[in-house]
């Protein structure tokens, strides 16, 4: 798009959203450390790549259909776990030969001990808003599109379910009340931020000395303290992400990984003399040898904890049935539990009494690798879902044919985007051969009632149109809406609304929201919301993200055309 055109829709309920105000980086202080400041609100930008307003335009009579909230990449972290490899993070620092390697990125963040509090603060904001900002229709549900856990551990899944359900929550592991992660003094390492300061005779840590990170006495203790989560006041659903399935989101569980994760041996350095190039290649190849090498170096002792055990897919699905929220299973079915699958569909009731078919995919490749794809069996299941919800569609030759379904709008949810579904690692079982994102995209474009695909994984706000061929007998296509994470700046979520414009077009409204933490914490850090506010300040000051902003955008916030948007497309029926 060369020029931004603002939507004519006047939001009914902008309060608490980025339509009302945004959060931006304040003026840098010592070491470049920046506070968060309030900025001006952002109106909806109209995007017309898939359709244009009818001309001449008649009287507008938009009618809201469905409103819901999306969380993604919340990355609930057990930041004291032996199964984490924080010592790899330094190889992603500016100037490192391995900077940007996906298997290394995000293995340590200075705000990672506050992940549960951030999710609670986002829940509070969603509850506070309660409606779609454009039209004021009640939010029908919330969906979390994967990477709900950070390291596929049982305790991380429990904290995830419990923080969305609400109630007492204790985000601690090992010896309760005593911090045993990389930011204490037991094995002092200058590459990590140490909020309690520097031990006598030691060098100041690099985040403090080079990047202006402050001293905050008592922070680690407060991060571990129990609190009462508010819980969502609506049904919520869950999708499966690579960090929910794989060790550090990349490597499959191997023999011995459970014993290591639950034991007392926490690696803190790579083995002496290891070849970093060989290790990098092993990580890229998803080699089990890489796991053994990662944990073979220097280590510290921590308190063992059986709740740190990594979960297989069926076990992770089963945890969603141990819930105080609704629906029981949070979309996952008894068939998912029995078969060890993590894809399903549900009907969402629209404001006008019709139903929207919501299809939730499992895009994780269990063979390993951060990026995703589908297996053949799931791909055929998806094709059947589309077929049964459509009265007409395009056949493989591009001809319009009739189908058996009762027409319904279809919205897809998954962890990975079309572009990041490029993981071809495969299994010998024909049903498990991998289907990549381009083939899934082409299938969706055959069905005019597929209007939206909502996903995460990139940690960046983004909106992408996928158009049918200009000569296709049905115009338009579908929109992909991708939302930033909760673990990295800007720690945002998105409210999404579907509306029938009454003129032969539909609109998808996407509204970015910030969590309930104030732009600057009071520094007494006495509540989970204050801790969430601090997490956001620490996140915007992550030195690796400062060094590598996303090209053409405001860091991970994305461009303005990726944030508050009205996305136009032809009404399919």
Specify which of 54-68, 115-129, 288-302, 393-407 reaches the highest per-range mean pLDDT.
Answer: 115-129
> What pLDDT, on the 0 to 100 scale, is given for residue 105?
64
Residue 553 pLDDT > 60, yes or no?
A: no
C-alpha separations of 147 from 173, 175, 185, 249, 573 in Å: 20, 26, 30, 8, 35
Region 136-141: mean pLDDT is 98
The answer to which of 101-105, 322-326, 438-442, 444-448 has the lowest mean pLDDT is 101-105
What pLDDT band is residue 295 in, cutting at 50, 70 and 90?
A: confident
Mean pLDDT (whole number) for 420-434: 86
Statement: residue 552 has pLDDT above 70: no
The answer to which of 101-105, 129-133, 236-240, 327-331 has the lowest mean pLDDT is 101-105
Whether 91 shows a pLDDT value over 90: the answer reads: no
Whose tokens are 């009914």? That residue is 12
CATH match of 5-570 with 3.40.50.300? no
Average pLDDT over residues 172-194: 96
521 or 55, which is more confident? 521
Of the pLDDT bands very low, low, confident and very high (cuts 50, 70, 90), residue 56 is: low
Say whether pLDDT at 62 is over 70. yes
Residue 477 pLDDT grade (very low, low, confident, very high; cuts 50, 70, 90): very high
Torsion of CA 307, 312, 314, 316, to 10 degrees: 40
Give the percent of the chain with pLDDT over 70. Answer: 95
Q: How confident is the model at residue 2 (pLDDT cuts 50, 70, 90)?
A: very low
**Calpha distance 567→476 (Å, rounded):** 12
Q: What is the rounded CA–CA span in Å between residue 402 and residue 16?
A: 45
Q: Work out the mean pLDDT of the chain and round it to a whole number.
A: 93
568: enclosing H helix or E strand: strand 565-570
β-strands 355-360, 344-349: how paired? antiparallel
The tokens describing 301, both together, are: 């002792």
* Angstrom distances, CA of residue 552 to CA of 325, 434, 549, 557, 559: 40, 32, 9, 11, 7
Mean pLDDT of 476-490: 97
Instruction: Take residue 279 and report the two structure tokens written for it.
Output: 């290790």
Instruction: Tell me: pLDDT of 58 over 90.
Output: no
Cα 70 from chain centroid (whole Å): 9
Q: Where are the domains of the chain?
A: 5-570
Q: Which pair of structure tokens corresponds to residue 431?
A: 């049903």
433-448 per-position pLDDT tens digit: 999 999 999 999 999 9
Of 461, 468, 464, 470, give the one whose Cα is nearest residue 452.
Answer: 464
Whole-number pLDDT of residue 416: 98
Q: Give residue 484's pLDDT.
A: 97
Which tokens belong to 465?
Answer: 């149109």
- The pLDDT tens digits for 235-245 are 999 999 999 99
Compute CA distances 270 → 283, 294, 432, whole Å. Answer: 14, 6, 35
DSSP 346-414: EEEE-TTS-EEEEEE-----TT--SS--EEHHHHHHHHHHHHHT-SEEE-TTS-EEE-SSPP--EEEE-
Which has the higher per-residue pLDDT, 288 or 112? Answer: 112
- 8 A C-beta contact, residue 89 and residue 98: no
Tens digit of pLDDT for each residue in 336-363? 999 999 999 999 999 999 999 999 999 9
């Amino acid at each position: 798009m060369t020029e931004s055109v603002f939507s004519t829709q006047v939001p009914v309920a902008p309060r608490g959203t980025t339509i009302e105000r945004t959060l931006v980086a304040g003026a840098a202080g010592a070491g470049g450390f920046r506070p968060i400041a309030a900025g001006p609100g952002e109106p909806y930008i109209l995007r017309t790549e898939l359709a244009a307003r009818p001309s001449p335009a008649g009287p507008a009579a938009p009618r809201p259909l469905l409103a819901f909230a999306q969380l993604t990449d919340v990355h609930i972290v057990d930041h004291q776990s032996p199964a984490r490899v924080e010592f790899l993070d330094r190889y992603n620092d500016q100037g490192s030969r391995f900077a940007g390697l996906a298997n290394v990125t995000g293995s340590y963040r200075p705000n990672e001990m506050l992940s549960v509090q951030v999710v609670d603060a986002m829940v509070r904001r969603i509850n506070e808003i309660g409606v779609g900002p454009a039209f004021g229709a009640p939010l029908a549900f919330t969906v979390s599109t994967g990477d709900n856990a950070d390291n596929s551990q049982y305790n991380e899944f429990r904290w995830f379910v419990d923080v969305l359900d609400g109630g007492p929550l204790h985000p601690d592991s090992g010896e309760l009340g005593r911090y045993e992660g990389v930011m204490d003094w037991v094995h002092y390492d200058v590459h990590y931020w140490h909020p309690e300061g520097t031990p006598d005779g030691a060098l100041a840590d690099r985040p403090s000395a080079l990047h202006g990170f402050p001293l905050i006495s008592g922070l680690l203790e407060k991060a571990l303290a129990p609190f009462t989560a508010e819980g969502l006041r609506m049904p919520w659903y869950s999708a499966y992400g690579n960090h929910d399935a794989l060790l550090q989101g990349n490597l499959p569980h191997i023999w011995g990984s459970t014993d290591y994760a639950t034991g007392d041996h926490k690696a803190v350095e790579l083995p002496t003399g290891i070849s970093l190039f060989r290790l990098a290649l092993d990580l890229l190849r998803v080699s089990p040898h890489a796991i053994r090498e990662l944990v073979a170096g220097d280590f510290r002792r921590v308190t063992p904890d059986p709740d740190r055990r990594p979960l297989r897919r069926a076990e992770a699905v089963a945890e969603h049935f141990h819930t105080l929220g609704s629906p029981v299973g949070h979309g996952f079915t008894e068939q998912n539990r029995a078969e060890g699958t993590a894809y399903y569909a549900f009907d969402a009731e629209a404001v006008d009494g019709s139903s929207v078919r919501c299809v939730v995919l499992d895009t994780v490749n269990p063979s390993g690798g951060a990026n995703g794809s589908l297996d053949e069996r799931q791909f055929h299941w998806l094709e059947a879902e589309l077929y049964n919800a459509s009265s007409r569609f395009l056949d493989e030759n591009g001809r319009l044919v009739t189908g058996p379904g009762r027409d319904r709008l279809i919205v897809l949810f998954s962890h990975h985007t079309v572009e990041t579904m490029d993981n071809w690692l495969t299994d010998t079982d024909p049903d498990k051969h991998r289907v990549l994102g381009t083939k899934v995209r082409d299938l969706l474009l055959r069905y005019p009632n597929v209007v939206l695909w909502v996903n995460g994984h990139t940690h960046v706000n983004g909106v992408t149109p996928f158009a049918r061929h200009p000569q296709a007998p049905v115009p338009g296509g579908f929109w992909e809406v991708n939302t930033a994470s909760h673990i990295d700046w800007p720690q945002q979520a998105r409210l999404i609304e579907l509306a029938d414009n009454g003129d032969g077009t539909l609109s998808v409204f996407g509204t970015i929201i910030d969590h309930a933490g104030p732009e600057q914490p009071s520094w007494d850090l006495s509540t989970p919301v204050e801790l969430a506010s601090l997490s956001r300040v620490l996140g915007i000051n992550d030195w690796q993200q400062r060094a590598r902003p996303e090209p053409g955008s405001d860091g991970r916030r994305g461009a303005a055309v990726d944030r508050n948007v009205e996305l136009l497309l032809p009404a399919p029926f």
